[in-house]
Structure formats: C-alpha cells, structure tokens
Amino acid sequence: MTKVMMKIAVFSTKKWVRNALDAANPAFGFEFTYYEPRLGPDTAKLAAGHDTVCAFVNDDISAPVLDELAGYGIKLIAMRCAGFNNVDIKHAAELGITIVRVPAYSPYAVAEHTLGLILALNRRYHRAYTRVRDGNFALDGLLGFDVHEKTVGIIGTGRIGQVLASLLSGFGTRLLAYDKFQNNEWAETAGVTYVPLDELYRESDIISLHCPLTHDTYHLINKYAIETMKSGVMLINTSRGPLIDTDAVIDGMKSHKVGYLGLDVYEEESELFFEDLSGEVIQDDTFVRLQTFPNVLITAHQAFFTKEAVDNIAMTTLQNIRDVSETGKSANEVREG
Ligand code: NAD
C-alpha cells in the first residue's frame, strides 16, 4: 500500500482516541499531533503547520474557525463522527475545504445503549444499585412496568432507529415510527407502522429520537409536542441535544406529564461532556436541575462508545483522509443539502 505522509492535527483527543488512531495508523503512516482541547476560535491556531484537521462532535467548526483554518492551508477536515451539525458546511464549500465523516460505525452501539436507558429508567437500576450497596433492600419507589405490549414511537428510522426497532420487537412492543423520508419496505418487514408525528406523540408510552439535528428538528420536542403526549411518557434522546427544548421538558417533568427522561446528549453538552469536572462547580443551572429529578438518567454522549464502534471510527477516518488525499474525493464527503 502506498503511504501518504500527511500531518494531521487531531482535536478533542482523549486516551481512547489516541489508542484507536495509533492502532489503525500502521496501514496509513500518517503523522498525528494530538491536542486535548476542542477545536474552536481559541484553538484553531494549533492547526497551523498541518495538512488536515481531525475533529469530533463538540468541536466548533463555524465560519470564523473555518476562515482561520483556510488561512493555514487546511483543505480537509475529517470528522470522527456521523453528525455534522457543528460544521458550517456551506462556508466550508465556499472556502474549498472538504468535510468527511464516518456515517456509520455501529448502529448497534447506539441502539443497544438506547435500550439500556429505557430498561434502566423503567426498572431504576441506577437507584437500585446504590440502594443495595447501602444496605437498603426495600422495593418502594422501584416499581416498573412491562415493556411488553407497550407502544414505542421511534422518530427517525435510519440505521439506528431500525436496529432499535428490531431490538424492541423482541419485547413484543407495538412499534410506531415517524420519518421525513419513510422506508415503507423496511417498515412492512419490521412490523413498524409509520404515523404522523401527532399520532406518535398521542399513542406512545416511550418515545425515542433517532433523527439528525437540522433546522427542521431543532427543538422538535417542545412545549406543544409534550402537551400532545401521553401522561407519564418516557422520552429518550441519544441523537443530538437540541432536538429537545430542555426548559420545556423540565416543565413537563414538574407537571408529571413526562414520567421518565433518558439522555445521552444535552443541548449545552459541549461545555460539559467528555471532561472530568467532578472537582468543579457546574455553572449550567438547567443541567443541574435535570439531575435533581429521580426519574432522569443522563449519560455523557457514550452511546457510540463500544470497542467495535471506536475501531471503525478510527479506520474509516483514516481511510477517508487517504481517499481525499489520493483521489480528491471520498464516499463519505459531506455536502450541503
Ligand atoms: P441515519 O442518517 O441513518 O438516519 C436518520 C433518519 O432520520 C433518516 O431515516 C432520515 O430520513 C430521518 N430524518 C431526517 N430528517 C428528519 C426529520 N425532520 N424528521 C424525522 N426524521 C428525519 O442516521 P443514524 O446513523 O441512524 O443516526 C441518527 C442520529 O443519531 C445521528 O443524526 C446522530 O445525531 C445521532 N448519533 C448519536 C450517537 C451517540 O453516541 N449518542 C452516535 C451516532 C449517531
């Protein structure tokens, strides 16, 4: 295999990122500079002297950052994730910067984590665990429900939504779905019924979000959507934080309209997630309020975090970089629209 010497500035790196990229790199021979900080206006200068930038979900790749990167001659940004809502794609195209991503690395990882949140919230494993360790073997407050025969509404039936549907079908659930672009053939074989969004809200005991963050889906779950839902509904978001209007959902929790909330993503997560802030004073009062509810379970954007997914992310990211550097294009290029 031809080796392309290329200097890559890798932002938002943690140990697991370095380990995965280093393990994949022998087949590529790239030169990495690992930076722990997120990419943003204060750190873009670290890309100077490199050919390519490699970034992650909470990096800021807005127009001013792109302008600065273009000034350093950066022509390629390789995202180590599927979502690209944090990239100004239009401006990147205007500057001639190619954006590549990893569209699919393991829908199983995210769907399985979603199922984990549903079961943990329902049966309160997180509370039971601490109770038993504390010598409290009482069951009061741990009452759950059978998932069997409940109605689950899946919003977004792409790769992850489809895997979740197949996992849930094992529970004997009634599956409803909403997607802007329906996949009727799949729905028929999977036993899933597409319904309008309002009907999904009205009928579902559990609602799980698996659509991308776009102008259409920003605050999809707002005050009005919540008003339409069943009382005591379980809401799960492992997709992107801004799909949910957090203030509206907090009001929904206070009025008991929302019975359970499971989040792997949060609107303002970029200030919090992926960092050890256990010794710090958390300044985000909305996030702190969320944590006070006994029926809220939050994980810090870890749904993707399985060995298989991380290995796939590393391999695909490096292959994307090689494809663009050798041929000028990649099947995983992100384009506007
Ligand atoms: P996908 O592209 O395969 O599927 C997305 C689906 O959403 C598609 O069927 C699409 O038609 C549908 N959709 C688009 N616009 C919509 C709208 N306005 N309303 C309803 N549906 C709409 O993506 P995927 O691989 O299934 O991933 C789904 C999302 O999960 C990603 O966008 C990403 O934000 C998120 N994600 C989260 C993690 C994590 O670790 N928490 C990891 C990977 C992906």
pTM: 0.93
In a domain, 1, yes or no: no
Q: Which helix (H) or strand (E) holds 198?
A: helix 197-203
Residue 19 in domain: yes
Q: Residue 211 CA: which ligand 1 atom is closest?
A: 7
Mean residue pLDDT across the chain: 96
Distances (CA, A) of 76 to 44, 54, 92, 98, 132: 14, 8, 9, 5, 51
Q: What is the pLDDT of residues 135-151, one digit of tens each?
A: 999 999 999 999 999 99
Q: Is the pLDDT of residue 3 over 80?
A: no
Specify whether 215 is located in the same domain as 266: yes
| In-domain check, residue 92 | yes
Indicate whether 271 and 151 sit together in one domain.
Answer: yes
Question: In the 8-state DSSP scheme, what is residue 81?
Answer: S
Residues belonging to the active site: 240, 269, 301
Whether 237 and 282 share a structural domain: yes
Residues with CB under 6 A from ligand 1: 82-83, 104, 107, 110, 155-161, 178-181, 210-214, 216-217, 238-240, 264-265, 301, 303-304
Mean predicted confidence (pLDDT) in 292-304: 97
Is residue 195, in this structure, part of any structural domain at all? yes
Say yes or no: 76 and 191 in one domain. no
First to last CA, the chain: 35
Separation CA 247–CA 264 (nearest Å):
17
Q: In this structure, which residue's CA is closest to atom 36 in ligand 1?
A: 239
Give the domain CATH number at 212: 3.40.50.720
Distance from the CA of 212 to the center of ligand 1, in angstroms?
A: 4
Average pLDDT of the residues in 289-293 = 97
Asked if 134 and 187 sit in the same domain, the reply is: yes
Q: Per-residue pLDDT averaged across 266-291, rounded?
A: 95
Same domain, 132 and 206: yes
Q: Is residue 310 part of a domain?
A: yes
pLDDT at 337 over 80: no
Contact residues for 29 (Cβ-Cβ < 8 A; gap 6+): 3, 4, 5
Range of the domain at 57: 7-105+306-334
Q: Based on the domain organization, do 133 and 278 belong to the same domain? A: yes
Strand order, beta sheet including 174-178:
192-194, 174-178, 151-155, 206-209, 233-237, 258-263, 296-298
Given this model, what pLDDT does residue 83 score?
A: 87
Per the structure, how many domains does the chain have? 2
| Entry field: residues in the chain | 337
